[in-house]
Amino acid sequence: MVHRSKKFYFPAWFLYHLPEENKVQWLFWEDSFEFEEKIIHGTWVIESELESFIQANKHLVAQIKATLKIRDWVRYYSLQGSNVIRRLVRHVKKKVL
């Protein structure tokens, strides 16, 4: 389901450039804590949850993308394998034009 539409996931390069401290979350507490479990039933509800999470955090994608240089894109695409040159040229054209 997640891979069915781009509205359900972040771009592949996002994790590669995400700062290490943002890749892990830690929870510490003393004595006790409260929580709420949300049970999701139905495909359309799951889709809605995924899409709303991505929408709520897409500003992070824009922030990171704004800081990337051409060398970062070259490094990312070189790790991807096939069609690297074509994708890189397409991206550079978008960035330049």
Return the pLDDT at 33.
87
Q: Residue range 5-13: average pLDDT?
A: 79
**Digit-coded pLDDT (tens) for 59-71:** 888 888 887 777 7
Q: Is the pLDDT of residue 97 over 80?
A: no
Q: Residue range 15-27: average pLDDT?
A: 81
Measured CA to CA, the distance from residue 74 to residue 86 in angstroms comes to 11
Return the pLDDT at 77.
67
**Digit-coded pLDDT (tens) for 28-80:** 888 988 888 888 888 889 889 888 988 898 888 888 888 777 777 777 666 66
Task: Write the secondary structure of 23-47 as one string of H (helix), E (strand) and C (coil).
Answer: CCCCCCCCCCCCCCCCCCCCHHHHH
